[in-house]
Chain A
Amino acid sequence: MTSFNLSFLRQLESESIHIMREVAAEFKNPVMLYSAGKDSSVMVRLARKAFHPGKFPFPLMHIDTGYKFPEMYKFRDDFCRKIGAELIVERNEKLIAEKCHPLKLGVDKCCSHLKTGALLDALRKHGFDAAMGGARREEEKSRAKERVFSLRDAFGQWDPKNQRPELWDIYNTRINEGETMRVFPLSNWTEQDIWEYIKLEKIPVVPIYFALEREVVIRNGILIPVSSGSTDEPEKAKRILCRFRSLGCIPCTGAIASSATTIDEIIGEVRAAKKSERENRVIDLTSDSSMEQKKKEGYF
């Protein structure tokens, strides 16, 4: 008997596919932001599913700050080659050349230039009218307030107090000249759903999500790998079994103590987690509303 019951993960899958198809059908020049992280990996799998047996009809774009982990670059290039996806890499070359760094500029400012600035420039340069991103509402409290289709003005800014109502799954995709849409197909996924889906679908992910003994320095409770070059006290380093729970730029991404070396172990760890996923992300910790502020400026 067909039970006609769709499991939770398959319902989320269908919802995400529906969103991506709406984007492909209603925008002239959409792009999918790709960071090589676990959420991007899931998002790309969903995009392949949405347009199978065709190819997904938009390029991937990586906003590269130059500070990503070497494993991420390698994974990104191998993966895109393997699936035959068109990959655009955009960097704020000028600031990267000037050695823009969070220790020098402060975390917020560095992010604002290398990520937000580069993203807005890239959208303009390519004339993209919609950018899909892998952000999830569960990640952070201002994201919890954002629509699936989030309108940005000509400056890429989000106006949280003036969002369009979003009803049923009928999405208003209309924009004026110069405006862009950010679209979040994974809005309703949680970190645990992402890992469960990676397991179910056997999706490859960057190896640094898994635990390994690494040389780290402990700062404000965050494990900073010595190899990142972002610590001035390498002599205090200890060898600790740890992994990266979420991936960002090396200077601002800490590791967490963990012994999880398989997907199942990661799922077990996430289920029992006492801290939120972005605990190791310095970017969110500067103030209670730092993410909201960044999003208002045009961050993902």
Chain B
Amino acid sequence: MQSGEKSLLRFTATGSVDDGKSTLIGRLLYETKSIYEDQYAAIEKTSRKKGLREVELAWLLDGLAAEREQGITIDVAHRYFETPKRKYIITDTPGHVQYTRNMVTGASRADCAVILIDARNGVLTQSKRHGFIISLLQIPHLIVAINKMDLVDYAEDVFSRIVEEYENYSQKLDIHDIVYIPVSALKGDNVAAKSKKMPWYEGSTLLRCLENIHVAADRNLVDFRFPVQYVIRPHSDFRGFAGKIVSGTITPGEEVVILPSGKSTSIKSITTYDGDLQEAFSPQSVVLSLADEIDVSRGDMIVRKKNLPRMENSLEAIICWMDEKAMAVATPYIMKHTTKSVKARIAKIVHKIDVDTLHRKPADAFGLNDIGRVEIKTSSPVFFDSYKINRATGSFILIDPLTNNTVAAGMIRDAVRHIEDYAEIQDEDIDKRKKSPHTISRGLNIELTGREKQNGHKAVVLWLTGLSGAGKSAIAMALEKRLFDRNCKTVLLDGDNLRHGLCSDLGFSPADRKENIRRAGEVAKMFFEHGNIVLCTFISPFRQDRAVVRSLFPEGRFMEVHVQCNIDECRRRDPNGLYKKAQAGLIKDFTGISSPYEAPETPELVMDTESLSLQKCVDMLEEFLISNLCLY
């Protein structure tokens, strides 16, 4: 593989003082042959001078004189290494209690986090804090490396105890992919080479784990967002808008809207030094020119007409306070969000989060390292998505205009939902989602609980997602028969059927898929509200689209079922001959072939149709409904 073709993984490593983090990174660098002789010689010389018996590998990483003096990591350091498969950027992040702000700094861009725990000490408060920050920052993958196994005789029960304790804690967090690995950074066990001392551990080594993390699926390729950075105007014939596509994809000719003006136009060209592009995607930096002369400047955002971010001047966010000077309500700050800087003030502190217990408590102000939820008012509207679905348009920093310090990192949850704010909602032309502002949503004629009582079962939505050919429709049809026999009220919403009618105007581009799923979700909601068990079978390849549907339903009433099957097996089954057509290039954007499938991270149920019979799948679903008290 050409080095330039390799993929990139950014990960952050963190641990408490003396957990051996620097040794672990030193070990990774050493095992991947990334330590140079002269760098080694330099630390060897210093180690000798200090009268140490062994060379302090950790000093390779502690770059500042003060760090070497105190033997602690003060600031985030960046390290680089590569394997034949990947290039790695490590942000080496201090876990010392005073330096939470550096941890947020180091972790903000990471694809994966490695938390170190000293096997002798077990789960400390610090280890929990690290996990909490990782969950706040929505880092998709977490590896917990339980280090110094050599000092506990490589005992399985020590490892299991720590895993259990951390699992208990992490269940309260929003982290979906956690792997635990017993290691000894000092001796090299399970770092790059499999340990012979721990035959009881059957998982991967740390390096192998890092090599195999699938990061492409973590990107948001659905929502096109282009914050304008700079206007390029070399001569009167060319006016281009330079920026980075922070999410989504775009092609020339697509209709777009400029925010905040709301003016529509289309993409004329995507210009780069290496020639015009026929398609561009995140995270490319490009120059867009538009079909019409429209006033656009830095801080504006170019988005697709049918896929808009929120546009509000009052929003709710989680912030981490990073300044010595405490935060004060109503003080003016500057918010930098994408390429836009606006004045902002904290309108209200909703609560502070006690990082140790995860309890929320009231607060009047935030001091250094405090984390909590606030409401922020901005002087002009910002265009955002929630951080959960879009890291780039959901994040911001606050700057103190007096000191110019970066005082907070913010992650947007949503717009503030107060009734009076709805009066401020912008131009209806821009917000397509509220296309009929003068209609009134009438409440339900018959309460859902009443219908449920009459039906003798709860109303729920079972959303079957998976590749074409995985068996979604077959399962749903068989299940519906079974439910019918139990006198249940059911509705079967089949993706293909919907596409022949309600959604016949839609194709298979990511934008159209999104709309297709949105409509399906709304229809499901109507049937749900009328007391039905709604069985939905949709490939629904994008995680985010499914999350939007989920948000339409009360907690516990939307069940995502991943009907899992290997693509090769689906291709072999090919019930409707679609794979053949896709392979021949007759179908564009075919999931699994020419369009991605993002598997659910936390589905309520997974059914592997390669190993389970249809009968068994239906049994499983029925039992699942019973155990969730949906069928009485």
Contact = CB atoms under 8 A, between A and B. Distances in A.
Interface string A1-32: 11011111111011101100110110000000
Contact of B593 (A1, A52, A160): A1
B460 interface: no
Nearest to B391: A168
Nearest to A9: B4
A258 interface: no
A48 interface: yes
Given A1-B594, A51-B242, A165-B409, A288 B4 contact: no
Interface in A136-161: 137-138, 140-145, 160-161
B240 interface: yes
A126 to B, nearest CB: 22
A6 to B, nearest CB: 7
Contacts of A161: 64, 66, 74-75
A89 B37 CA distance: 36
Interface residues of A, number: 68
Interface in A51-108: 51-55
Interface in A21-52: 21-22, 24-25, 48-52
A172 B399 contact: yes
A53 B238 contact: yes
B45 A145 contact: no
Task: Label chain B's interface by main secondary structure.
Answer: mixed
A276 B36 contact: yes
Nearest to B62: A141
Contacts of B60: 141
Given A1-B593, A2-B279, A167-B105, A144 B273 contact: no
A292 B104 contact: no
B397 A172 contact: yes
Nearest to B76: A145
A221 to B, nearest CB: 9
Contact of A144 (B63, B274, B396): B63
Interface in B2-46: 2-8, 36-39, 42-43, 45-46
Contact of B64 (A10, A142, A187): A142
Contact of A14 (B87, B283, B336): B283
Given A8-B4, A52-B271, A167 B221 contact: no
Interface stretch (A109-117, A192-200, A226-234, A246-254): A192-200
Contact of A141 (B63, B108, B338): B63
B232 interface: yes
A196 B4 contact: yes
Nearest to A192: B3
Given A5-B7, A49-B272, A25 B339 contact: yes
Interface string B45-74: 110000000000000111111101000001
A4 B395 contact: no
A5 B77 CA distance: 27
Nearest to B409: A167
Interface in B189-231: 216, 219, 221, 229-230
A8 B396 contact: no
A164 interface: yes
A172 B406 contact: yes
B63 A276 contact: no
A8 B7 contact: yes
Given A144-B78, A170-B397, A54 B216 contact: no
A4 B109 CA distance: 19
B521 interface: no
B405 interface: yes
B244 interface: yes
Interface string B581-596: 0000000000001111
Interface centre among A15, A166, A167, A169 (most CB of B within 10 A): A167
Contact of B104 (A6, A18, A165, A174): A165
Interface centre among B77, B238, B272, B596 (most CB of A within 10 A): B77
A125 interface: no
B322 interface: yes
B234 interface: yes
- Which 5 residue pairs spanning A and B have beta carbons closest together? A141-B63, A54-B234, A276-B36, A1-B594, A9-B4
Interface of A: 1-2, 4-11, 13-15, 17-18, 21-22, 24-25, 48-55, 137-138, 140-145, 160-161, 163-172, 174-176, 187-188, 190, 192-193, 196-197, 200, 267, 271, 273-276, 279, 288-289, 292
10 contacts: A6-B284, A8-B87, A14-B284, A54-B234, A141-B39, A161-B64, A167-B105, A168-B108, A174-B399, A273-B36
Given A25-B298, A289-B64, 20 more contacts: A2-B281, A4-B216, A7-B6, A8-B7, A8-B8, A51-B242, A52-B271, A52-B287, A53-B271, A54-B233, A140-B63, A144-B78, A161-B74, A164-B406, A165-B409, A167-B395, A169-B244, A174-B399, A276-B38, A276-B39
